[in-house]
Chain A
Amino acid sequence: MDYSRRKFLAGLGATTMFATAGVAGTSVVQTLVIEGKRYAMIHDETLCIGCDACVDACRETNNVPAGVTRLEIIRSEPRGEFPDADYKFFRKSCQHCEDAPCVDVCPTGASFIDKKTGIVDVNADRCIGCMYCIAACPYKVRYIDPVTKAADKCNFCRDTNLAKGQLPACVQSCPQQALVFGDLNDPDSEIVKTLQQKTVYRYKKSLGTKPKMFRVPDLKGEIEL
């Protein structure tokens, strides 16, 4: 385990806070340790058919108002010529970074990483709508909810399906089983097994945010084997 100066200082601050006020719950404290589950997702781009069933399921389950969305499937330009043309699909949604910039910049602690699950979530009551997180997110997945006026984004259905013991709505609705959701800390989980079997990449991994959205690349048309 590496202990950077930054983490040491943050830890020192947290300890002081515990000692003085005994208050937990600020963003800094919550980014420190993830206890228990570490939820992540795989989007298999070789299986995805771009039907948008996940997008609609997400909207219905989480009551996402029209005009904004927590999840988007971005379709590429056609590859090849008719009738052999095909498309590539990219899932645009929260990556649930372990070093989440949106959490770091939030001045009120509204944006936080849930300790029990590792899910990056927003406490709408605390959000003041400053939009720092929207600017900070390298994946451009955040928006201001037109109803609550708070920042919002995918939270792996933490308060809806997950709370009921179900899989996230997008995973449930996918006809291709292109989405795998599970706990990275559980060696027997489907997601860990899939990660061991398939080649995956993470988008903008070089930024060091440690995103937990894995993707099985659709290399068709790029590398001919």
Chain B
Amino acid sequence: MRILRWLFFFILCLSGFVNSNDSPPEVNAQIPDIDFAKQVSNADQMEQLLKENKRCIRCHKVARKLKNIAAVKMLGAHASEKFVDNCSACHGNKGKHPKEDFTIISYADNTHTPLALQNSKCMTCHTSLQLRNAEWTHDVHYKKISCAACHQLHEAEDPMTNIKRKSRITLCVDCHIAINELRGDQ
């Protein structure tokens, strides 16, 4: 029994050692799949979800050169191996996409998906208090711009995570100057 315990300890140490050598650290590894479990309540739904996600990947894993659409990669905290890239969690089910492109929820400042719908999708998991504690500016921008205006979820690390003070200020300044100029023109 004692030997087993030591062996277990040894393996733990070894895995820690191996992980610490990995660079850059994998962001996915820090967030357990269980975070996304609220999407499904039973096995049937899970099966449906996986089927949907696989349909997305079938087309989007490679670049569509004719239509000039880049290959989609899902890295970072919102990817999930268990949920097969987890596309539908945010983008909704495929529906009639790509014949009718408006069935997919898209995230950007200028897109067919209404701002309120885009941002409310994020609020399915993130609470207003979490947002406020992370960054007070969430309070004053939520109704005005898309979350995707600042955040990029497909990247390995969201550019807003660990943003430097200087870049943060530049972001505020540049955007507000642009708004003021726009207002001045009208």
Contacts and interface: CB of A to CB of B under 8 A. Distances in A.
Contact of B180 (A56, A78, A173, A175): A175
B128 interface: yes
Interface size class, chain A: 10 to 19
Interface size class, chain B: 10 to 19
Nearest to B169: A53
B176 A82 contact: no
A62 B166 CA distance: 17
B173 A51 contact: yes
Contact of A78 (B132, B173, B174): B132
A65 to B, nearest CB: 16
A225 interface: no
Q: Give chain A's interface secondary structure class.
A: loop
22 contacts: A49-B172, A49-B176, A51-B169, A51-B172, A51-B173, A52-B165, A52-B169, A56-B165, A78-B132, A78-B139, A82-B132, A82-B139, A82-B142, A83-B143, A85-B132, A86-B139, A86-B140, A87-B136, A87-B140, A175-B177, A175-B180, A176-B180
Interface of B: 128-129, 131-132, 136, 138-140, 142-143, 165-166, 169, 172-174, 176-177, 180
Interface of A: 49, 51-53, 56, 75, 78, 82-87, 173, 175-177
Given A82-B139, A173-B173, A175-B172, 12 more contacts: A49-B172, A51-B172, A53-B172, A53-B173, A56-B165, A78-B136, A82-B129, A82-B132, A83-B139, A83-B143, A86-B139, A176-B176
